Amino acid sequence: MPADAQLLLLDRDFVEPALQGDQVLAAVREAFVLHSQRAGRVFPVVRETLHTRGVFGIKSGDVASQDLLGFKAAGFWPNNRAKGGEPHQATIALFDPYTGRPLCIMDGNAITTARTGAAGALGLQQLARPDSTRICVFGTGVQATVQLKYALSMLPRRCTVRYVSISGEPEPRFEMAFRDHCAISVAHDRNEAVADSDVVITATPGGGALFDAAAVQPGTHLTCVGTDTAGKRELPQGVLQRARIFVDDQEQARTIGECQWAPELPCTEIGGLLAGTAPFERSASDITVFDMTGLALQDLTVARLLYEHALAKGTGTQVAWPW
């Protein structure tokens, strides 16, 4: 066995600047298409609540034709906020499928943020009305920020944004990030904000229904990000029953996504739309929901991009890893 084998480490300072928006979009699109063609596999998800109030999960998979194998260990630790840290934590590892030897370990926080934002953007592009100009966002954290950033870049017209914060009060830092790109203000009545929106983005910890079902008007598109664990939800009862539902993975959505609350309803995987194998024509009155639970393949295609970039540039930290 080689005694001079190396393991590549890519930390946050490498990962964050290396994530280019167009490349991430392309990688996430590839992941969805691979999944729709079953050319990439998604292994069963681990998602467990800890005694520390944290939630720990593992998402893994492979793409045999690309010799791509790996996992992401990630979760949500709400107590991190009190320590000045980010509640979402993630680490990604890539492996040689022929030997099982680890090839690369990289910081997964920025990757998770970027790939989830890109996934929401692809769903928005496929499902929202092209004339959408009014957006309602629930949340003001990292994921709400990236979802709104991608949404504004995807929609062809200048938008008006209303957001719902935890406190119900304005969040100046959140507003400052978007003032040059849209008219943005805090929503004091969440039901009114939903009713007056073309696009609704929910990016919260998934602690319960965020608004009344009757607030959702015909023609609305909803991007649902926060429900990724059994027992979580953001949508109220009754919305899914009125909607055309799209998911990243049917089984996963019915287990840990919004679809867990109505698993009997039909849903379509977004990869089929992107691959052109699942035709979809939106009428002006359709309500569409993209129930996003996150695919391991999204993490792996983006991680592969960064791994290959680091190898080509000779960057990152190589450490001895004899086997």
Strand 199-202 versus strand 134-138 pairing type: parallel
Q: Say which amino acid occupies 90.
A: A
**Catalytic positions, written as ranges:** 72
CATH 3.40.50.720 applies to domain 118-295:
yes
Is the distance from CB of 261 to CB of 233 less than 8 angstroms?
yes
> pTM to 2 decimals?
0.92
Report d(CA 93, CA 175) in Å as an integer.
Answer: 35
Architecture category of domain 6-111+297-320 in CATH: 2-Layer Sandwich (3.30)
First-to-final CA distance of the chain: 6
Q: Nearest to residue 140, comparing CAs of 108, 181, 185? A: 185
pLDDT at 3: 73
Structure tokens at 91: 């680490």
Per domain, the residue ranges of the chain are: 6-111+297-320, 118-295
Encoded tokens for 249: 């993975």
* pLDDT value at residue 196: 98
Q: Do 70 and 97 contact (CB within 8 A), yes or no?
A: no
Count of other CB atoms within 10 angstroms of residue 49: 14
Residue for token digits 């320590």? 83
Per-residue pLDDT 10s for the chain (323 aa) are 677 889 999 999 999 999 999 999 999 999 999 999 999 999 999 999 999 999 999 999 999 999 999 999 999 998 998 898 888 899 999 999 999 999 999 999 999 999 999 999 999 999 999 999 999 999 999 999 999 999 999 999 999 999 999 999 999 999 999 999 999 999 999 999 999 999 999 999 999 999 999 999 999 999 999 999 899 999 999 999 999 999 999 999 999 999 999 999 999 999 999 999 998 999 999 999 999 999 999 999 999 999 999 999 999 999 999 98
Could you give the CA distance from residue 36 to residue 276 in angstroms, rounded to a whole number? 10
